[in-house]
Amino acid sequence: MFVDTVKIFIKSGHGGAGCISFRREKSVPKGGPDGGDGGRGGSIYLQADVRLRTLIDLYYHPHLKAGNGERGEGSKRAGKDGKDITIFVPVGTLVKEAESGKPRNQGLINQTLTGGEVIADLLEPDKPILIAKGGRGGKGNAWFATATHQTPRFAQPGEPGEEKTLLLELKLIADVGLVGYPNAGKSTLLSKISAAKPKIADYPFTTKEPILGQVRIEPGKSFVVADIPGLIDGAHYGKGLGHEFLRHIERTKVLIHLVDIQPVDGSDPFKNFQAINQELKLYNPILASRPQVVALNKIDLVQKKNSITMLKRKIINQGFEVFAISALTSSGINQLMYRVAELL
């Protein structure tokens, strides 16, 4: 199961209390204070891991708590520090503050989240980020002894840990995003240009989660493509599947807009093209301004070649660069990929 949004509750450890103690040895009369300090509470870190691609572990375990520090002891023995926790997440995870309160059972799943301030954006793997600091341990009474106050009968309590409710939102790290209506041929194209093996079938919403594939143009020149599940009209309102995954093309640098020039429902390819661009604009205006290459797919099914020319001319007049391809036969794909590489 692909999980790209989750709500979690974290709590760092409390610091241990300092100890009030006095030496009681037979040969050492009036030995003085010897209470040790309490241990610090455990902290919580977030770290990106390239081996992960989903937040599913946190979906099933949304409550995380670091260890508390132990109390100090006599003979100036410090308490043991609480155990730190490192939470591993996929590269590209965005961390936001959420309203207070614990998730009741499981975290949210594949929902558009509107959290508060962004705390961290985990773009670099294996670089831990402190997200909740453990409480400081209290000082024992030995720490407060002075020449004028030789028998302090007090010690510090440990500081409490931090409690936070966080929203984690995964945005895939990809150079290129594939967008288009369901059955436009995005999965077929991805399977041709990379080693990715997406599910391919002739019914809508075959692809139910984003899929990444690496395209190798030549030695030393490659890029990552994300296949986003098909968008439909009203996607920015939550219709279809595409709305759940539009966040994954927010980091891309170039978009490949795949247009089915022979839709099985008889719809107008040009109107479909305009509808998808409108959905991108309504979701995030920045997406509509990204460099976009249009690929007219399934040219192998068209009998009248002048219809391809007419559609191509309409889209060029809108200010877009257009390629006619067949994802099934690989016709025109090389030219398309080299052009995308140049744009990147």
Q: What is the CATH number of the domain that holds 119?
A: 2.70.210.12
For residue 120, which of 97, 86, 152 has the smallest C-alpha distance? Answer: 97
Average pLDDT, the chain: 85
Q: Is 201 found in the same domain as 82?
A: no
pLDDT of residue 194: 84
266/8: higher pLDDT? 8
**Where is average pLDDT lowest: 68-72, 111-115, 228-232, 310-314?**
111-115
CB-count burial class (<10 Å; 0-12, 13-18, 19+) for 230: buried
Decide which of 170, 196, 230 is a domain's last residue: 170
Q: Is 159 found in the same domain as 232?
A: no
Q: Is 207 found in the same domain as 126?
A: no
Q: Is 128 found in the same domain as 24?
A: yes
The domain that contains 316 carries what CATH number?
3.40.50.300
Q: Is 204 found in the same domain as 104?
A: no
Q: Is 152 found in the same domain as 112?
A: yes
CA atoms of 255 and 249, how far apart (whole Å): 8
CA atoms of 230 and 60, how far apart (whole Å): 27
pLDDT of residue 265: 81
CA atoms of 277 and 203, how far apart (whole Å): 22
Q: Is 160 found in the same domain as 42?
A: yes
Flag whether pLDDT at 47 surpasses 90: yes
Domain, as residue range, for 241: 176-343
How many CB atoms sit inside 10 A of residue 92's CB?
20
For residue 255, which of 326, 340, 312 has the smallest C-alpha distance? Answer: 340
Quick one: pLDDT band at residue 65, thresholds 50, 70, 90?
Answer: very high
pLDDT of residue 66: 96
Decide which of 170, 204, 226 is a domain's last residue: 170
- The mean per-residue pLDDT over the stretch 233-240 comes to 48
Q: How many CA atoms lie within 13 A of 208 on its CB side?
A: 6
Instruction: Enumerate the β-bridge partners of residue 7.
Output: 167
Number of domains the chain contains: 2
Quick one: pLDDT band at residue 237, thresholds 50, 70, 90?
Answer: very low
Q: Is 185 found in the same domain as 144?
A: no
Q: Is 242 found in the same domain as 126?
A: no
Q: Are 38 and 79 in contact (CB under 8 A)?
A: yes
302/230: higher pLDDT? 302
Q: Is 188 found in the same domain as 152?
A: no
Flag whether pLDDT at 279 surpasses 90: no
Flag whether pLDDT at 105 surpasses 70: no
Q: Are 13 and 135 in contact (CB under 8 A)?
A: yes
Q: How many CA atoms lie within 13 A of 193 on its CB side?
A: 35
Q: Name the CA radius of gyration of the chain, rounded.
A: 29
pLDDT of residue 232: 58
For residue 21, which of 57, 72, 60 has the smallest C-alpha distance? Answer: 72
Flag whether pLDDT at 203 surpasses 60: no
Q: Is 323 found in the same domain as 224?
A: yes
